[in-house]
């Protein structure tokens, strides 16, 4: 495998007046953005690559007058309910004890409120519970048994989330794990070849992030996941943490992520992406800057390739107040789903920091 560093010359920005490619163009002051929203911006929904149905559903609801948050949550519910998506909700791959634990966060631009749940078990739609935390509690984040009790108090029903297919994947991992799990011996940042040694087909990172701007020019977002497969019980990634796996500022934009949550937790990338957009960066450039930040920030050699680059994948998705959107990943090959008003959503390629070339 030959890998060379290259910034992809990619940008597909959707200005809703029909203009194309706006790399690095200054977005303008917040007052200007607000005025343009009222007169020019049409709805946009952006999501991770597993969100074709989610973005289509969200757009349908938005065009019918729904609030962006209600729309994106209904969209990701499709993926949470899908037993064939191993990274979200029902059918998600379990922790190392064979138990499915889910994380989710939501953020509502117009009110500036947010809610989240982490390590919740037996509830298929954690995104709905996260919204309930936002609306019916004085808290932002509930975890574990407390999150489950809160969900049940509000009428959510417990059910077994471990499908036969996910169970078989977990058993294969149990039979082959050896010492390649998440438990590490004492080590410093120079240690290599400890942990994170799974064969690619065994370990799975996944998630769905979905962000939207509605007919009123308001932004909202949701991120939901079953997390890192075969994780230590109680592990929480970035998806439940506002500022890391999701962040929304109604006057600027929204951003979310998928991929290795530990890296994104350390970088708080979603809030950084929104701040880059506040400074005038396009959504794509803001996402690329977050990718570079993670790669530069990672010092542990076990997480780096032979050239000192972060060797895992993280993908970001962003949407600004003007309806411009974009995505970028650390490594090439990622795609994202977008809907700008069509009946059918489409996949577009993400920009990337490093290109992987296979011989």
**Positions marked active-site:** 207
**What is the bridge-based pairing of β-strands 253-259 and 314-320?**
antiparallel
Question: Does residue 58 contact residue 45 with C-beta atoms inside 8 Å?
Answer: yes
Instruction: Measure the CA–CA gap between 255 and 248, rounded to whole angstroms.
Output: 7
Q: Specify the DSSP class assigned to residue 156.
A: P
Instruction: Measure the CA–CA gap between 55 and 62, rounded to whole angstroms.
Output: 10
Question: Among 297, 301, 358, which Cα is nearest to 330's?
Answer: 297
Instruction: Measure the CA–CA gap between 257 and 245, rounded to whole angstroms.
Output: 5
Residues 6+ away with beta carbon under 8 Å from 157: none
User: Could you identify the residue written with the tokens 């954690």?
Assistant: 126
Token pair, residue 284, equals 């794509």
Question: Among 310, 291, 295, which Cα is nearest to 350's?
Answer: 291
Instruction: Measure the CA–CA gap between 299 and 304, rounded to whole angstroms.
Output: 8
Burial of 14 (0-12, 13-18, 19+ CB in 10 A): buried
Token pair, residue 191, equals 């240690």
Token pair, residue 48, equals 């991770």
Buried b or exposed e, range 279-309, using 16+ CB within 10 angstroms: eebbbbbbbbbbbebbbeebeebbbbeeeeb
């Amino acid at each position: 495998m030959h890998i060379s560093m290259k910034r992809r010359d990619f940008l597909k920005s959707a200005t809703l007046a029909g203009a194309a490619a706006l790399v690095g163009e200054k977005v303008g002051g917040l007052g200007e953005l607000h005025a343009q929203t009222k007169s020019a911006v049409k709805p946009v929904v952006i999501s991770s690559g597993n969100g074709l149905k989610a973005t289509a559903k969200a757009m349908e609801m938005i065009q019918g007058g729904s609030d962006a948050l209600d729309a994106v949550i209904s969209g990701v519910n499709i993926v949470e309910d899908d037993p064939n998506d191993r990274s979200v909700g029902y059918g998600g791959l379990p922790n190392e004890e064979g138990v499915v634990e889910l994380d989710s966060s939501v953020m509502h631009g117009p009110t500036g409120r947010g809610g989240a749940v982490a390590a919740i078990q037996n509830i298929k739609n954690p995104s709905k519970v996260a919204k309930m935390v936002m609306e019916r509690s004085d808290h932002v984040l509930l975890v574990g048994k407390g999150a489950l009790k809160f969900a049940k108090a509000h009428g959510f029903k417990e059910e077994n989330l471990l499908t036969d297919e996910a169970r078989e994947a977990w058993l294969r991992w149990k039979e082959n794990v050896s010492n390649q799990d998440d438990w590490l011996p004492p080590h410093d940042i120079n240690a290599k070849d400890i942990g994170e040694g799974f064969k690619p087909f065994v370990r799975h990172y996944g998630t769905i992030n979905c962000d939207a701007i509605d007919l009123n020019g308001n932004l909202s977002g949701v991120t939901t996941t079953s997390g890192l497969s075969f994780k230590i019980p109680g592990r929480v990634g970035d998806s439940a943490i506002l500022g890391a796996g999701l962040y929304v500022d109604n006057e600027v934009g929204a951003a979310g992520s998928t991929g290795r949550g530990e890296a994104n937790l350390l970088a708080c990338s979603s809030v950084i992406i929104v701040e880059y957009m506040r400074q005038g960066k396009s959504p794509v450039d803001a996402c690329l800057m977050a990718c570079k930040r993670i790669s530069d920030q990672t010092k542990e050699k076990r997480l780096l390739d032979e050239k000192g680059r972060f060797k895992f994948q993280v993908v970001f998705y962003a949407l600004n107040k003007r309806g411009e959107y974009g995505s970028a990943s650390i490594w090439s090959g990622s795609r994202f789903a977008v809907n700008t008003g069509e009946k059918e959503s489409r996949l577009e390629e993400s920009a990337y920091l490093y290109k992987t070339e296979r011989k």
